[in-house]
Amino acid sequence: MAPSSITLVTVEALLNLLVVEWQKCRRSPMGVPISGVKANDHSALISLRPLIMDEGCPRNFNDFYSKAKLLSALENRKVAFEWYSRTRLYYGCSSVCVIFTEFVVPELMRRGINTLPVSSFGEEGSDTIHLKNIKIKEIKFTPINGKVHTLRMTHAIFPPNDFQVEMGSHNALHCSETDRIFDPSIGQLTGVMKPKMVRSEQQYVDEFPGNVIIIYDSPQSDIQAQKLRDANESRIHKNAEIHPSRIAKRVADAFLSSNGTASFCDHCLGLPSSGSKLLRCGNCKSEYYCGKSCQVIAWKSHRTKCQVTLD
């Protein structure tokens, strides 16, 4: 399986693949939107019918929006996408970062991949990063101006479980030799799906969607505890395919293959809808989308790249 339309073997491409594979395997339900009440521009109460990917969860944003647009709080496509991203990534920062450093990196190094370039689109110059120098950072923060996003997961048996960002911790990846930071799950706070990359820790703090209290190296005890939790998921559900080591192997296989087959949406990182193929940009023919909804939202950011590709 090829890494979508990505032809450059970069850290960003690798993180995209990891998020795609992690979504497919996570056992914490994502789900179908069933109700929504918008309080203001930064707060809403969104109820979902929890489902995991292999039990009918929307495979991509286009599937999600076909239900969400019927709800008053989610009828706006852009707002619905922000909530889609939060439902996909919530409580995922630690798991994704640990799988990357503790499983994906060792898997690639076993295959002789020790360094990777960083995409330099829109920047001057580029970096080559030694994978062994990427470590996990922990960020303690509070929201800016009291902006709070509330997500309510509802279930027929269990009581509602509110995910509310009021004060908390977050995890990201930091390269000690270049000071770059990669955040594969920033979208649980900002409502985007694709990982974010910034040039320095200071830039990351300045742009973080909250007041950063402290940022520090994640303790080994926390990393080992997350590894154990993720491994236990595989044991509890009696499914070896969701073990972090298996996820890492599939990510590495996809990352190193190049058969030209698009496997996920370039905007929402979702899988093709059942029985459907991804749509390809008719201009540059290098970006793929799950449907019109993602293509429309992505055009603002894709336009420049699309024109450069044509030139």
Greatest mean pLDDT among 29-38, 216-225, 258-267 lies in: 216-225
Q: Is 166 exposed, middle or buried (0-12, 13-18, 19+ CB in 10 A)?
A: exposed
Under 8 Å between Cβ of 95 and 226: yes
Residues of the chain with pLDDT > 70, as a percent, come to 80
Residues making up the chain, counted from first to last: 311
Task: Provide the sign of the torsion angle of the four alpha carbons 71, 75, 78, 81, taken in this order.
Answer: positive
Q: Where are the alpha helices (DSSP H) in 156-285?
A: 187-190, 201-207, 220-236, 244-256
Residue 38 pLDDT class (50, 70, 90 cuts):
low
Q: Taking Cα atoms as reference points, which of 89, 90, 70 lies closest to residue 80?
A: 70
Q: Cα(279)–Cα(75) distance, rounded to whole angstroms?
A: 23
The pLDDT of residue 150 is above 70: no
Q: Cα(91)–Cα(188) distance, rounded to whole angstroms?
A: 8
pLDDT digits 0-9 by tens, 39-60: 555 556 677 777 777 778 899 9
pLDDT digits 0-9 by tens, 247-305: 999 999 999 886 555 689 999 999 999 888 999 988 888 899 999 999 999 998 888 87
Cross-strand partners of 172: 137
Q: What separation in angstroms does the CA of 158 have from each of 34, 62, 153, 161?
A: 16, 28, 10, 8
Q: Cα(264)–Cα(253) distance, rounded to whole angstroms?
A: 15
Token couple for 13? 């491409």
Residue 26 pLDDT class (50, 70, 90 cuts):
confident
The pLDDT of residue 74 is above 50: yes
- Tell me, what DSSP letter sits at residue 163? E
Q: Taking Cα atoms as reference points, which of 187, 199, 208, 207 lies closest to residue 267?
A: 187
Determine the distance from the C-alpha atom of residue 113 to the mean position of all C-alpha atoms in its chain, rounded to a whole number.
23
pLDDT at residue 221 in the model: 96
Enter the pTM of the model: 0.86
Q: Which comes out higher in pLDDT, residue 277 or 168?
A: 277
